Amino acid sequence: MSEPNYSHLIDLNDYPVEWWNKVINLGATIYHHPQRYVQACAGKIMATLFYEPSTRTQMSFQSAMIRLGGSIIGFDNPMSSSVSKGENLKDTTKVVSSYSDILIIRHPLAGSAKAAAMTADCCVVNAGDGGHLHPTQTLTDLLTLKMEKGRLEHLTVGLCGDLLYGRTVHSLCKALSCYAGNKFVLISTPELRAPEYIRKLLRDSGCEYREETSLDAAIGELDVLYMTRIQRERFASQADYLAQKDIYCLTPEKMAHAKPDLAVLHPLPRVDEIAVPVDEDPRALYFKQAQYGMYVRMALILKLLESENHLPVLHGEANAERQCVNPKCILAQEHYLPPRFVQEGGHTLCEYCEERALKK
């Protein structure tokens, strides 16, 4: 399969930290001076292909493009498109990308954005690929921290809730581990602890981290508390989900034990892991965070459309002796894709979903 020649955002870690900082700084400039950018994307078209539900990510991308003077096309329900007739990801991507300048994709399978980038004739942005990654939420989180805490380093960050399936958690840990002096407290039940590859990444980057089951035990030491919902749609059974639901709930009583300058973030949607009265606490920044998401996406659209720094989509190698057995990997659905593998800490990982590949 030939490599297209566009800049994509599949995983933030494909880019150096300096590039993230440029996007964040541009997001801050746009936030302060939006009128300077009202024609910046005049004549450009953004397509949003949302195979999974979304409120913020989709609408913040759409309003970002409209505020830049561009136009939008797309679907938010694949069943109203030719996907319902059995069209594969490759064909949908190929065609829609020929109508647009930038394509934003959300899909329930890990590695789907990478797969889309392989055939698209325009740049592709990962707006969430299954339980894997969500890089634009991370840009949102980083801009929020930069604006509200004034720094991205030397923060003690608690991440609480569904650390196993929460793609926003995975992307944020990957990103914050690249800034100096950040410490992590991973607050979850044993069943929903962060995947091994995330814990390994924290160890390898030299970040201090510990795992904790009690939010009460950790809250007093945190500069940032990143709450997440239990990802019901990613559980194998309803019984497994019900066993995890309602375990963590941030309340005003708990907030009383937190630092006066704690930043409470949440990618949203909230289910019941933050009690509604917490919204009145000035440390609750999640609605502001959602708004910053639009500004950072404006910055991202501009950066990608002006970019001449073309990155290859696939980095890994073919390996006839290995196979990806993850049923939630895009390889399990789109059989024309070439399996590719990368070596990571002595293990062979599927390049699409980053799960361990097994010997055939």
Residues at the site binding ligand NCD, with contacts judged by CB under 6 A: 56-57, 128, 134, 137, 167-168, 228-229, 231, 267-269
CB closer to ligand NCD out of 145 and 314: 145
Q: Whose CB is nearest to ligand NCD?
A: 267
With 0-12 CB in 10 A as exposed, 13-18 as middle and 19+ as buried, what is 346? Answer: exposed
CB closer to ligand NCD out of 8 and 297: 297
CB closer to ligand NCD out of 124 and 357: 124
CB closer to ligand NCD out of 74 and 339: 74
Q: Closest Cα partner for 224 from 149, 320, 302?
A: 149
Residue 242 CB contacts under 8 Å (≥ 6 apart), including other chains: none
For residue 270, how many C-alpha atoms fall within 13 Å in the half-sphere facing its CB?
Answer: 21
- CB of 2: closest distance to ligand NCD in angstroms? 31
CB closer to ligand NCD out of 97 and 231: 231
CB closer to ligand NCD out of 100 and 168: 168
- CB of 190: closest distance to ligand NCD in angstroms? 20
- CB of 18: closest distance to ligand NCD in angstroms? 25
Contact present, 223 and 156 (Cβ < 8 Å): yes
- CB of 331: closest distance to ligand NCD in angstroms? 21
Token match 């407290």: residue? 185
Contact present, 167 and 143 (Cβ < 8 Å): no
- CB of 141: closest distance to ligand NCD in angstroms? 10
Contact present, 169 and 194 (Cβ < 8 Å): yes
Alpha helices in the chain (DSSP H): 17-32, 56-67, 89-97, 112-119, 135-149, 167-176, 196-204, 215-219, 238-244, 252-255, 286-306
- CB of 218: closest distance to ligand NCD in angstroms? 21
Q: Closest Cα partner for 266 from 180, 158, 154, 352?
A: 158
